[in-house]
Amino acid sequence: MSEVLYEGKSKIVCKSDRDDAYIINYKDTATAGNGAKKEDLEGKGKLNAEISNIIFKYLEENGVKTHLIEVIDDITVLVKKAEIILVEVIVRNIAAGSFSKKYGVPEGTALKNVIVEYSFKSDEYGDPLINDQQITAIGLATQNELDNMAAQALKVNELLSALFLKAGIKLIDFKLEFGRAGGEILLCDEISPDSCRFWDAKTNEKLDKDRFRRDLGDVLAGYRDVLSRLKTNEER
């Protein structure tokens, strides 16, 4: 592996032979509760890499600017160097997870409008919810950048909701990360069952990281199901 610049919970960022690019390796490690629960799930890295690559290519084809340059192997991608904005953008279509808990709205409740919310990307402070004014006040991003990210996030939501519906999957919610590169804001990180909630459209079976968070059984069976349905979609 080339020189490691940063090792995160689920990915490793390395130097590449290009000044304007990094290499990212997907790991098998699964974590939840800000790292409190941690386990290696053999093959998770490969599944997430493949799912995320399919999604990023689809988004790029549909006008969303992403960091993905090329796929190097099963678990490795070359991406544009970007300065990650420390704001996680969460989009919700249906109540679940922390939203359900915090506001007493049962999981599975349809929301009257799509929600875009932000959290401060910080392991130290436990990714707390943060609003526009707090973000601009402490200089995590400008209002322009936030407006850009929110608009991109809503576009991603429309594109992905349609893509997954074709695959018989409901997109409940998801988290995006963005970065600054050459005066642009790029969609970075990954989009996978680690960062989204995917429910089977007929049975509501959970096909995402909630299987790990909540000990619902074979975690990767859900991830494999998501991947195979995306591939079937592509063949159509």
Distance CA 188, CA 177 (A): 5
CB nearer ligand UDP, residue 16 or residue 31: 31
CB nearer ligand UDP, residue 2 or residue 34: 34
Helix, strand, coil abundance in the chain, percent, nearest 5? 30, 35, 35
Shortest distance, position 184 Cβ to ligand UDP, whole Å: 23
CB nearer ligand UDP, residue 53 or residue 192: 192
Q: Which residue is nearest to ligand UDP (CB)?
A: 97
Shortest distance, position 20 Cβ to ligand UDP, whole Å: 27
CB nearer ligand UDP, residue 21 or residue 90: 90
Positions that interact with ligand UDP (CB under 6 A) = 90, 96-99, 127, 173-175, 195-197, 209
Shortest distance, position 81 Cβ to ligand UDP, whole Å: 22
What per-residue string of b and e applies to 20-52 under the rule 16 or more CB within 10 Å gives b?
ebbbbbbbbbbbbeeeeeeeebeebbbbbbbbb
Shortest distance, position 234 Cβ to ligand UDP, whole Å: 23
CB nearer ligand UDP, residue 90 or residue 169: 90
Q: Are 161 and 168 in contact (CB under 8 A)?
A: no
Distance CA 232, CA 224 (A): 12
Shortest distance, position 173 Cβ to ligand UDP, whole Å: 4
Of the CA atoms within 13 Å of residue 119, those in its CB half-sphere come to 16
In angstroms, the Cα distances linking 26 to 93, 118, 138, 233 are 27, 25, 31, 24
